[in-house]
Structure formats: structure tokens, C-alpha cells
């Protein structure tokens, strides 16, 4: 009777461990994500809201311009450094806007901001000039 009890206990223990191992394996090999095709319910998920209107000069500066204009990368005039902006400002805002939009020397066109409109880039230039005189 004891041998039979021990056998049942061992069998139950082995089966329990086997179930745990099987569960762990299933979790490890489970798909990382799911595919959602057009027409499926999951395809109707809401999209993130698009911003209302153009971004301010400061918003554009904070997201697109600050990397170069904080560290002075490739000769970029630093925000707040009146001396590095003086000669540029003397050329006039039209020239500064044109250089920002089309590129000039180390300044790439649009500051490489693929999501910026012309007006937003010009607003960022205005913001930097206002905060660097």
C-alpha cells in the first residue's frame, strides 16, 4: 500500500512538473505580436491625434533644433549666445529664414526636420533670434 501511494505521489509530482514546463515553453515560444489587416476590428483602432495648427518656435526648437543649437554642432550659433548670432542677425531675418529653409554651410535644409512646415522653421529661427540678442 505504501509503495502504491508513493508511486501515485511520484506520478502526480512528475505530471505537475511536466505541466509547469509545458506552460513555460508555451510562454517562451508565443508570438511577440499580432498582425492586423485592413478590415479587421483591430484596424479600426484610433490613431493618435494630430496637433492643432502649427507648432510654436519654441516647440520646434525643443524638438528639432536644440541638438545642434545647444552644443554649437557644425558651427551652429548657440541659443542665447549674442556674439555668435550678431553677424547672422545683421544679414536680416529674410536671409536667416532662407538659410534655415534651404540650408547654408553646415545648416541642412529645414534643419532636417521632416515634419516641419516652412512657417514652423521660420518661427524657430525667430525664437532663437529673440532669445539670443
- By CB neighbour count within 10 A (0-12 exposed, 13-18 middle, 19+ buried), where does 89 fall? middle
**Domains of the chain by range and CATH?**
66-130 (1.10.760.10)
Task: Render pLDDT for 87-131 as a digit per residue (tens, 0 to 9).
Answer: 999 999 999 999 999 999 999 999 999 999 999 999 999 999 999
By residue count, the chain amounts to 133
The mean of the pLDDT values for the chain is 84
Write down the pLDDT at residue 131.
Answer: 96
Distance CA 55, CA 63 (A): 10
Amino acid at each position: 500500500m505504501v509503495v502504491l501511494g508513493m508511486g501515485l505521489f511520484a506520478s502526480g509530482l512528475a505530471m505537475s512538473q511536466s505541466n509547469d514546463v509545458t506552460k513555460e515553453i508555451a510562454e517562451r515560444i508565443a508570438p511577440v505580436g499580432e498582425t492586423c489587416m485592413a478590415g479587421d476590428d483591430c484596424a479600426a483602432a484610433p490613431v493618435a491625434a494630430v496637433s492643432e495648427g502649427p507648432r510654436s518656435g519654441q516647440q520646434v526648437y525643443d524638438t528639432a533644433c536644440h541638438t545642434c543649437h545647444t552644443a554649437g554642432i557644425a558651427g551652429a550659433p548657440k541659443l542665447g549666445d549674442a556674439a555668435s548670432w550678431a553677424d547672422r542677425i545683421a544679414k536680416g531675418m529674410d536671409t536667416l529664414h532662407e538659410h534655415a529653409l534651404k540650408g547654408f554651410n553646415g545648416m541642412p535644409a529645414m534643419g532636417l526636420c521632416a515634419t516641419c512646415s516652412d512657417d514652423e522653421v521660420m518661427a524657430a529661427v525667430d525664437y532663437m533670434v529673440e532669445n539670443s540678442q
